[in-house]
Structure 1
Amino acid sequence: MCAAYPAPSADAFSLAAPVRLWEDGFAADPAGYYERLKAQGPIGWAELAPGVPAYIVVDRRAALELLHDPDTWSHDPRPWEVTVAEDSPVLGMMRWRPNTLFADGQEHLRYRRTLVDAFALIEPHDLRERVHQAADTLVSRFSPDGRADLLGDYARPLMARVFNSLFGLPDSESDRLHNSIGEMMEGGERAAIGEQEYGRYVVELVARKTAKRGNDLTSWLLNHPLELTAEEVTWQVFLTLAAGHEPTANLVTNALSRILGNPAYYTTLTSGSRPVMDAVVEVLRYETPMSNYGIHYTSKPVSFHGVWVREAVPVVVSYGALAYFAEQDQRHAGGHHPHDASHLSWSAGPHACPVKHHTLLIATEAIERLTQWLPDLDLVTPRGQLTWRPGPFHRALTALPVRFSPRALNR
C-alpha cells in the first residue's frame, strides 16, 4: 500500500507542490523543471511518478558531499519499497536487487570487485573490433537508402549487438534486449512489462552460461574466485547489461545530435582536426544521458543543506540539472573546455562507474565508424525540433532522422 507523504514544511521548500518529473513536459523542456527545482534551493522536492516523492539534489557541492558520504547515505531501497505500490512504474529502476548498485559497505565492494575484474579481461582492441563489426553490419543495411534513424537503425541495435556479444548471446537476441530495456527505463505504462521481459532475458542468459561456460562476461562472473551465487550473477548482469546498453546508446545519439546540429563543429570532427572524444565529453558535461539517478536513502531524519530529509524517501542526484547549470555557467563565462572532466555523469565516490573507459571507447568508436562511412550526414529535423522520450531518469531522443549521399559499403 502506498504511504501518504505530507508536503515538506514551508521552512524547507517554497513551492507547495512537487515538481513532476514524470510529466511529458519534463522530456520536452527539462531546463524549465530544473529551474523550478533550483528555485527551491540546493535540494528540490519532486515526484518521480504519481505519488512517488523524492528529494532532488541540483547543487554540485551538495551532490559531491552526498556521493562521498556512505556513512550517512545508503543505496538500499528496501525501507522505501514498502511505501510504494507494487505496480509503480519506477520500481523497475529502483527496486532492491543483490548487486553492486543497491549494496553498501563490504557487500558493495565484493560485487564491485567481480565487475572490475571481469571487465578487465576485455582487451581494448577486441572491444573496438566488436564495435566496428556491429557498425559495419548496421550501416550497410541503410547506407544505400540515403536516409536513416540513427537511434532506431544504429545506436540502439549497435549497443544490443555489442553487449550481447560481450555477455555471450547471439545477434538474433538484439531486438528483444533493447526493446525491453527501453520500456523499463521510460518508467511509463509498459515499464513493468519491460522489466519482466528483460528479467526473463537475463535469467535465460545466466542459465545458459551456468550449463556451458564461454569466453564472455557472464561466464567470467560465474567463475570469479569470490564465488557469486547464480542469483547474484543474474542481478549483476541485470544491472550492467542495462547500464551499458541504454545510456551508451543515448550518449551516442545525444552527441550526434549536437554534432550534426552544428555544421562547423561537424566539419572539424570529420576532417580529423578535432577528436570525437571532445563531442562525447561535451555531452557528458552538458546533456548527460542519465538525468536523475544516483539514488540514496537515510535511515533516520537528517539535516542536509537546509532541508530536513526524512528516512526512506529517495534522495536523487540530478546529473541532468548539474549538467544544465554547468552549461549555463560556461556560456556566461564565454569559454569552452571539452577536456574538463569535472562533470559527474560517472557519479563519484564509492559508487562511481567502474567501467567508464569501456563506455567511452564504445561511444567514440561508434561515432567515428559511422562518420567514416557516411561523412555527409545531415539532420532531417533541426535539433531544436527533435523530440525526447518521457521518463524521470534519462535524456533520450525518440528518433534521430538523418539524410546523406546513398552508397553501398565496400566491406
Structure 2
Amino acid sequence: MTTYPPAQQAFSRSAPVRLWEDGFALDPYRYYADLRAQGPIGWAELAPGVPAYVVVDRRAALDLLHDTETFSHDPRPWEATVADDSPVLGMMRWRPNALFTDGADHVRYRTTLIDTFDLVEPHDLRARVHRAVHVLVSRFGPRGEADLVGDFARPLMALVFNSLFGLPDSQSERLNAALGKMMEGGADAAEGEAEYSGYVLELIAAKAEQRGNDLPSRLLDHPAGLTPEEVAWQVFLTLGAGHEPTANLVSNALSRILGNPDYYSTLTNGARPVMDAVVEVLHHETPLANYGIHFARKPHSFHGVWIRAAVPVVISYGALAYFAEQEHGDARHPGDASHLSWSAGPHACPVKQHTLLIATEAIERLTQWLPDLEPVLPREGLAWRPGPFHRSLTALPVRFTPRSPDQPGDRL
C-alpha cells in the first residue's frame, strides 16, 4: 500500500480510488460510486503515488468553484511534493496562463483570450469546420469504412485549430500525437508534453517574427502587452483545451447517436437538432471528466472533510453528471447547467459557444454526406483510452455506402 507524506494523510483510513487503473476507463461509474461512498469528497490517486481529493457532490463543487479566497489554481506548492517524472505533470504543472493563475494575472490572461476569440466570426469558424470535414471525408469516403476517432474527430480538430492558430494542415498529425500522449497521463506523458511544448514554442517564434491572420498574432498584438512567452502559454492552454475535449465531444456524441438507430434517423432527417446529442454527451459522458483542479491555500474543513494544502482538489464533472442523473432522472437544472461541463465561477470556459459550434457543425456535415453510417461494434463493445482526466474513445469503426467527393448531390 502506498505511504503518503504526513501532509497527504487526510483519508488515512480509506484506500484511495485509483483513477489511473485500466478499469477506470472501462467503467468509470463504479469508481465514482466508490468515491461517493466516502461522502461529497472522496480520496483518490491520479497516478501511482499521486493522491487527490475528488469532489463528487454538486453543491460542494459549486462552493469550491466560486471560492477564490480559500482555493487557488496555482499548483506550485503541490509540484514540490511530486516526482519530476510524474505522468500527470503535463496536465497539472504550473504555467503562466489563464488556467493556473489567480487574481489580477488570471483576469489579464483571461481577458486577452476572450477578446481574441471574440474576433473569430461564427461564419468564419463554420467555414473552417466545413473545409476540414470535406478534406477528411474525401479521404475515407470512397472506402466505405472509417474510424470516426482516428480518421475524423481527432484529425478534424487538428485541421480546424491549426487553421485558427496559423499552422499548415501538414502539422496536424504532429499535434494529434503529442496531445494524445500528454492527455492519457501514462508512460509517454512526459514525451507528449515535450513534443507539444516544442510545437507551441516554434509557432510563437514564427509569429513573433512575422504576424498573420491568426489567433497567436492577435494575442501578440493585444493591448494587454503579453510577452511572447506569455502568449506561448496562453496558446499552450487554448490549443490543447480546444483540441482534445472537443474531439472527444464529437466522437462521444457520434457513438451515442449511432448506437441508437431511432435517434440517428431523427437527426439525419432534421426532426431533431444535433445540439441535442451534444448536450446529452455533456450530461452523461462529458469529455473532460475530472479536472478543474484547485489547491487549498491553507488546511481547512470543507463539506465535512479536512482539506490539506498542497494536495489537488479535483472536480469530477463526470461523477456530478452521473449522480445528477441517478437522483433526478431526466430533470434539468435551469439553463441546462446540471452537467457543469463548462465549469463555473471565474474559471468557467470562456469559449463555450465556439466549442459547441465546432462540434455540432462537424457532426451535421458528416451525417449529411454519409447518412447511412453504421457502427461495426455495439456501443458496449467500444474501448476507451486510459487516463484519469478524460472520457475518450480509442476508436469508433463504422461502415457506409462508399461515396466520392465528385458524386452528384454532394452537399459538402
* Superposition TM-score, scaled by structure 2 size: 0.96
Deviation at 1:323, TM superposition (A): 1.5
5+ long unaligned stretches in structure 2: none
Q: Map residues 32-181 of structure 1 onto 2, 5 A cutoff.
A: 32-181=30-179
Q: Which residue of 1 aligns with 2:348?
A: 352
Q: Which residue of 1 aligns with 2:374?
A: 378
5+ long unaligned stretches in structure 1: none
Looking at structure 2, the residues matched to 383 and 48 of structure 1 have their Cα atoms a distance apart, in angstroms, of 27
Looking at structure 1, the residues matched to 172 and 131 of structure 2 have their Cα atoms a distance apart, in angstroms, of 14
Contact 1:131 / 1:365 at 8 angstroms: preserved in 2? yes
Contact 1:206 / 1:218 at 8 angstroms: preserved in 2? yes
Contact 2:7 / 2:308 at 8 angstroms: preserved in 1? no
Q: Map residues 1-400 of structure 1 onto 2, 5 A cutoff.
A: 4-6=4-6, 16-330=14-328, 333=329, 340-400=336-396
- Specify the code of the residue in structure 1 equivalent to 2:5: Y
- Specify the code of the residue in structure 1 equivalent to 2:217: S
Contact 1:378 / 1:404 at 8 angstroms: preserved in 2? yes
Cα deviations by residue, 1:244-295 (Å, 9 ceiling, x for unpaired): 0010000000000000011111111111011000000110111100010000
Deviation at 1:320, TM superposition (A): 0.8
Q: Report the more deviating stretch, 89-98 or 338-347.
A: 338-347
Give the direction of change, closer, same or farther, for the CA distance of 1:403–1:336 in structure 2 (3 Å limit).
Answer: farther
- Specify the code of the residue in structure 1 equivalent to 2:394: T
Contact 1:282 / 1:338 at 8 angstroms: preserved in 2? no
Looking at structure 2, the residues matched to 242 and 402 of structure 1 have their Cα atoms a distance apart, in angstroms, of 27
- Specify the code of the residue in structure 1 equivalent to 2:220: L
- Specify the code of the residue in structure 2 equivalent to 1:42: P
Deviation at 1:335, TM superposition (A): 5.9
Deviation at 1:13, TM superposition (A): 5.1
Contact 1:373 / 1:409 at 8 angstroms: preserved in 2? no
Contact 1:15 / 1:40 at 8 angstroms: preserved in 2? no
Looking at structure 1, the residues matched to 333 and 385 of structure 2 have their Cα atoms a distance apart, in angstroms, of 29
Which SS does the other structure have where 2:29 is aligned?
A: helix
Deviation at 1:342, TM superposition (A): 2.9
Looking at structure 2, the residues matched to 87 and 154 of structure 1 have their Cα atoms a distance apart, in angstroms, of 32
Looking at structure 2, the residues matched to 347 and 168 of structure 1 have their Cα atoms a distance apart, in angstroms, of 28
Contact 2:367 / 2:373 at 8 angstroms: preserved in 1? yes
Looking at structure 2, the residues matched to 198 and 249 of structure 1 have their Cα atoms a distance apart, in angstroms, of 17
Looking at structure 1, the residues matched to 405 and 365 of structure 2 have their Cα atoms a distance apart, in angstroms, of 12
Looking at structure 1, the residues matched to 237 and 129 of structure 2 have their Cα atoms a distance apart, in angstroms, of 21
Contact 1:3 / 1:84 at 8 angstroms: preserved in 2? no
Which SS does the other structure have where 1:359 is aligned?
A: helix
Contact 1:7 / 1:17 at 8 angstroms: preserved in 2? no
Deviation at 1:207, TM superposition (A): 0.3
Looking at structure 2, the residues matched to 56 and 288 of structure 1 have their Cα atoms a distance apart, in angstroms, of 16
Looking at structure 2, the residues matched to 77 and 14 of structure 1 have their Cα atoms a distance apart, in angstroms, of 23
Contact 1:279 / 1:338 at 8 angstroms: preserved in 2? no
Deviation at 1:384, TM superposition (A): 0.8
Deviation at 1:324, TM superposition (A): 1.4
- Specify the code of the residue in structure 2 equivalent to 1:366: A
Deviation at 1:7, TM superposition (A): 9.3
